[in-house]
Structure 1
């Protein structure tokens, strides 16, 4: 059997939003400004083309360009150690293999692979296992399993399925955007962290995941507040559980409010307003968010932003 690939290092990872111009082209200066702010905020890695990166709305060339831009921006600014993970989900095994190859060529160190969701009745457990194993066999970089039922027509991989896949030498981790801490705990207690990294995909269970020996976080909210997430991670490592729990409560409320605000469009609008780069343009059929007109509560989000700016 081939030797096991190494999982990504523990820490805070952010599925970066991808800024666009009014005519929906890539806004290169804003993309670079965002990558730089995240790196300066202390994140361990940046996920390009996670669901927040509008991957399914991009051409293959655009996906590759976004990865290249991210890696180059990090390298040019002295952040060579910040890890680049690329979302490589496609609706066929063949396309997903191609996206993994593209990601490696563009400078990504890991590929995060969504389970195809166009034909959910046909995606039974044997088919899911076959898909992820065939992709991992072909991928020039280690792969991770992306479990996000919201964007895969409700397909929710259970801990038994993920544990089976974890034995593959080139499958090294998972992102659980299902937010299921029981599932996360079953994985972390059955799989060696030196061989398989288990990340929750929601900031509202960041600390709970760490208590259950997760590898950190891959979540949308660090787009807004990377430093606050790094602070919680460091408080946990220092054994300051009470302080970490207090910060976790703020992250949980802010994460909920960000989702209610409008997710991708909301993130872009918040970042544009508070950090002065990028516009809240998204690719249709997504809709932009006008935070000046919203009726959604954002008091906890504003509190988190104030904290972020103080760090």
Structure 2
């Protein structure tokens, strides 16, 4: 991919469209904790075969534990792996949140140079005591990043990783209107009401006419941060999810999205969507409590690779790991995923 200057949209970009995205774990070599780029390539290709698009260096990818050069290496390796397997049109999103506006902009520049297609930016939380109730400063942060980023920007609203800062729907819609280079939002706050309000606002035909995106072929995506309300999201004009569960069950996650979208037009499909939504919601609730180390443990068991997080994050306790694997919600998910044709080790 050829990138243009850092103050413009790249000449060629893979557009983000509704669907399922996975925040990909960053895999490390045991002991040295160097990047395991070969395993990363294997995993993003596995996801792409199921129809899942990757998000690199997000929370699940331990973005906070990565140096500038490492993020770029991950992007290049993922792009090379996807292209080598014929997935030339699969876009890559990169987490580029930094502690300051300046560093965030630099991360965005580096992502563009490395070959990414979009970036996702979390609200800086270190000085939450000042920023949490300072709407003008929060808006200024995203406006400046969006104006200076060569790539489309998604807002990442995750209070749990932003010292409790929770952007409300009014501010997010305001940013969508003010910033043509902001292309969507990930709501890991888990608020279905917030998703509903934002999706309703941006779905209004008047919004698109009055506030077109910088890239006319890209809309504004409203994405959940979990797999447990994909069906609900479809019925309020949401656009899918960026969910860690898609690392474990990519085929089931994509199938749920497809069924949910179809059910909005054909009510006879809704019961099956609701059934599958229940399976994913239960598994998401259980696996999310085991965090990054739990997801890596499950990929190790199911696909043959995973490993541990970078220190100081600990690996999952062996007893907790076995309980997680044998939990009825997880076993139900594994059975469901295998039913869609995925070849799993366990």
- TM range, normalised to the smaller chain? over 0.9
- Selected match of 1:310 from 317, 327, 339: 339
Aligned to 1:285: 312
Question: Secondary structure of 2:228's partner?
Answer: helix
Distance (whole Å) between structure 2 residues aligned to residue 159 and residue 56 of structure 1:
26
TM-score relative to the length of structure 1: 0.94
Distance (whole Å) between structure 2 residues aligned to residue 228 and residue 258 of structure 1:
15
Cα contact 1:158–1:183 (8 A) shared by 2:
yes
**1:245 to 2:274 alignment:** yes
1:310 deviation in Å? 2.4
- Selected match of 1:209 from 233, 244, 250: 233
Assess, with a 3 A threshold, how the Cα gap between structure 1 residues 6 and 80 changes in structure 2: closer, same or farther.
Answer: closer
Cα contact 1:202–1:218 (8 A) shared by 2:
yes
1:6 deviation in Å? 9.9
- Count residues in correspondence: 306
**1:57 to 2:85 alignment:** no
Distance (whole Å) between structure 2 residues aligned to residue 254 and residue 298 of structure 1:
9
**1:140 to 2:150 alignment:** yes
- After the TM superposition, which residues 1-311 of structure 1 pair with which residues of structure 2 at under 5 Å, given as runs? 8-22=16-30, 23-43=32-52, 45-123=53-131, 124-167=134-177, 168-192=179-203, 195-239=219-263, 240-260=269-289, 262-279=290-307, 281-290=308-317, 293-294=320-321, 295-296=323-324, 298-311=327-340
Distance (whole Å) between structure 2 residues aligned to residue 185 and residue 237 of structure 1:
15
Question: Secondary structure of 2:86's partner?
Answer: coil
Distance (whole Å) between structure 2 residues aligned to residue 56 and residue 215 of structure 1:
27
Question: Secondary structure of 1:113's partner?
Answer: strand
Cα contact 1:14–1:218 (8 A) shared by 2:
yes
1:278 deviation in Å? 3.4
Cα contact 1:60–1:99 (8 A) shared by 2:
yes
C-alpha distance after superposition, 1:220-270 (max 9, x if no partner): 10000010011111212332111000000011110011022x211111110
Aligned to 2:212: none
Cα contact 2:223–2:242 (8 A) shared by 1:
yes
1:190 deviation in Å? 0.8
Question: Secondary structure of 1:14's partner?
Answer: strand
**Structure of greater Rg:** 2
Cα contact 1:270–1:291 (8 A) shared by 2:
no
Distance (whole Å) between structure 2 residues aligned to residue 274 and residue 171 of structure 1:
36
1:196 deviation in Å? 1.3
Assess, with a 3 A threshold, how the Cα gap between structure 1 residues 291 and 258 changes in structure 2: closer, same or farther.
Answer: farther
Structure 1: stretches of 5+ with no match in the other structure = none
Give me the CA root mean square deviation. Answer: 1.9
TM-score relative to the length of structure 2: 0.85
Distance (whole Å) between structure 1 residues aligned to residue 166 and residue 252 of structure 2:
30
1:25 deviation in Å? 1.0
1:290 deviation in Å? 4.4
Cα contact 2:14–2:90 (8 A) shared by 1:
no
Structure number with greater CO (CA < 8 Å, separation at least 6) is 1
